[in-house]
Chain A
């Protein structure tokens, strides 16, 4: 029976709602924004076409360059950190099976993911910004001080990145965990009988088997990283100066505070292009043999 060649046309029906949704809510606006980016558009004034003017202005806009490089730093720092931390957390929890401690940690780690990032930002800001805050007291024991972490140019961005990692780890950890728990116990037993220690088990069994998950999480992390907005906006607004400005925060300010909508749209389009390129690159590099993401 040559089932393989029989197409299931009703597949289109299944994906139709999603396609419509994505087209209407994402691609549609992006196309429109591409149009807007070719001119100056303000919510209060009519559109004026200026061609690629916005894009050339962007490349010489030192604030944009700074924002963009900050975004790259953000992604390069946050994604590996949260992936690694999430993985090891999952390993540890999986290893403990049904211990109360593990299940508690597992539940607690996910909590930041169900909270509003805006609120987390506000609370973190409050907790860090004062000499009387408990965090400062704690760091004081080690001789450090928390109160200017978000105000100093050198530490503002890293602090935010750290907070982001802490928030995201629990979320990604669940993905690792569910996959880890699918690894049959027999594999472990076989490995132990061969005399493998924890390290070898990890590197030779767990990591290879979880490769698809790694790829997916790095991807999602990349995408989320480039889109990062809420946390930065509510804590430092990109400051002090431009130290913690990221691309999307810059976009937002251009869009809403300055009413330079065409300019903002240009930023948005550039971001989309960058992420699409990275996505494409990663796909190429990996040339997926195992099925996984695509």
Chain B
């Protein structure tokens, strides 16, 4: 028996050696350059590698380069980037979302792409202004993500004699009226709002928070990056949310355990809630059109308090400073986000075009949502140490929704925390 184990170990040892040798940094032939792209997995079926592999073939041939994609899970995205950069094996082309940009810009890790844009490019791309970070165009957006909409159940609204909500007062009124016991068994089985606060990290701020502050005419940060959530707009937004749950009792009991998407699926899709906030994305569209939902639904992006405004995501592809050939990296980014690459990509993801000359492959709901609303949707403002503020904010909001603190206290606390962290920019980005 020991002889066998010895033999096995030797065999494995040999495998390790070959694997270790083969694994060191990958092949680099003299002729072929390589470009490394790190991005999250965005294709509906998870087959990003195959899809992008096809899309970049012409680019690879034309430029004699091999494009390597690494897809990274969202949960550990920042950790992977940080460690990659530290270890010196980070990507040449990165995919950053607005929360990440400030720290990376400040540390000199990304190059603004505006130097590589021609006038044609500037005319063609739709969201260059919106995507500017500190007044410079650093990256090019791949997709416009998840504009936040208010979905409503027309049937329920009809039954309580209401029409589509347009203001916060409408929302509260409808929520109150809709929360009822519809089958007379003494238990409430229909609620006004399906909104989830159970997400373990701050991602659900996307649907639960930002848009409301915008609609109240405010923002989370000012131009300098200072937290201004103790001002009226944010406090008003917090009060709005607080009341919906704790005063109007329009949210189901388990809203604190489930994520917003889960609440959307469990309560809104099943017809048990009158309204729900969510992103206009393929999954939600499929849920709404799917066999489990059998009510008339509507959605609006035009909810208004002081202004109409709603948050959307605008993640960008960017040239990392560590890239040996920045021009090539910029070229790749333009290829991927431009009408050629993105046209194909959006066919797979059914996303909306980000440049004028791109064919529109957006799925119907998204087309409808964006039409005429280009001025209402906006991404977040950048600020240093924003991720920390968001995580803290999220936990604080959870506490508030649980009734442990008032909206004013919560906003004050978050603002104090946010401003106790250094947020002044170290250097002017070169």
Contacts and interface: CB of A to CB of B under 8 A. Distances in A.
Interface of A: 42-45, 128-132, 145, 147-153, 233-242, 253, 255-260
Given A148-B254, A256-B82, A240 B398 contact: yes
Given A148-B254, A239-B395, A257 B266 contact: no
A150 B257 contact: yes
Which are the 10 A-B pairs with shortest beta-carbon distances?
A: A237-B200, A151-B257, A151-B256, A43-B82, A44-B107, A147-B254, A241-B399, A256-B79, A258-B388, A148-B254
Contact of A131 (B256, B266, B388, B398): B266
Nearest to B83: A43
B426 interface: yes
Give the residue among A148, A149, A241, A242 with the most B Cβ atoms within 10 A.
A241
A129 B82 contact: no
Nearest to B417: A63
Contact of B200 (A45, A128, A131, A236): A236
B222 interface: no
A127 to B, nearest CB: 12
A291 B221 CA distance: 62
Main secondary structure of the interface of B (DSSP, over half): helix
Nearest to B390: A257
A241 B201 contact: no
Contacts of A240: 197-198, 256-257, 395, 398-399, 402
Nearest to B103: A44
A148 B257 contact: yes
Nearest to A241: B399
Contacts of A233: 200
B200 A151 contact: no
B58 interface: no
Nearest to A63: B395
Contact of B258 (A44, A45, A129, A255): A129
B114 interface: no
B256 A152 contact: yes
Interface string B197-211: 111110000000000
A260 B391 CA distance: 13
B404 interface: yes
Interface residues of B, number: 37
Contact of B391 (A42, A129, A253): A253
Nearest to B257: A151
Contacts of B83: 43
Given A234-B200, A237-B201, A240-B402, A151 B255 contact: yes
Interface in B67-89: 76, 78-79, 82-83, 85-86
Contact of B85 (A44, A149, A256): A44
Nearest to B200: A237
A236 B404 CA distance: 18
A238 B104 contact: no
B198 A239 contact: yes
Contact of A257 (B85, B86, B255, B391): B391
Given A237-B201, A253-B391, A259 B258 contact: no
B78 A256 contact: yes
A134 B192 CA distance: 25
Given A44-B103, A44-B109, A130 B82 contact: no
Contacts of B86: 43
A237 B201 CA distance: 6
A258 B391 contact: yes
Contact of B257 (A45, A152, A241, A253): A152
Interface string B252-273: 1111111000100010000000
B387 interface: yes
A259 B262 contact: no
Nearest to B270: A132
Nearest to B259: A129
Contacts of A256: 76, 78-79, 82
B104 A239 contact: no
Interface string B267-307: 00000000000000000000000000000000000000000
A151 B86 CA distance: 37
Contacts of A43: 82-83, 85-86
Contacts of A147: 253-254, 257-258
28 contacts: A42-B103, A42-B107, A43-B86, A44-B107, A45-B106, A129-B258, A130-B254, A130-B262, A130-B266, A131-B266, A147-B257, A147-B258, A152-B257, A153-B402, A234-B200, A236-B200, A237-B199, A239-B198, A240-B402, A241-B395, A241-B399, A255-B79, A256-B78, A256-B82, A257-B201, A257-B388, A257-B391, A260-B388
A286 B174 CA distance: 66
A128 to B, nearest CB: 7
A256 B80 CA distance: 9
Contacts of A239: 198-200, 395, 398
Contacts of B201: 237, 257
Contacts of A153: 402, 404
Contacts of B426: 45
A144 to B, nearest CB: 12
Interface in B389-430: 391, 395-396, 398-399, 402, 404, 426
A144 B177 CA distance: 27
A110 B254 CA distance: 32
Give the residue among B107, B201, B258, B385 with the most A Cβ atoms within 10 A.
B258
Interface string B45-68: 000000000000000000000000
B257 A128 contact: yes
A149 B395 CA distance: 17
A239 B86 CA distance: 30
B258 A151 contact: yes
B402 A145 contact: no
A205 B273 CA distance: 61
Contact of B262 (A42, A45, A129, A152): A129
Contacts of B197: 151, 240
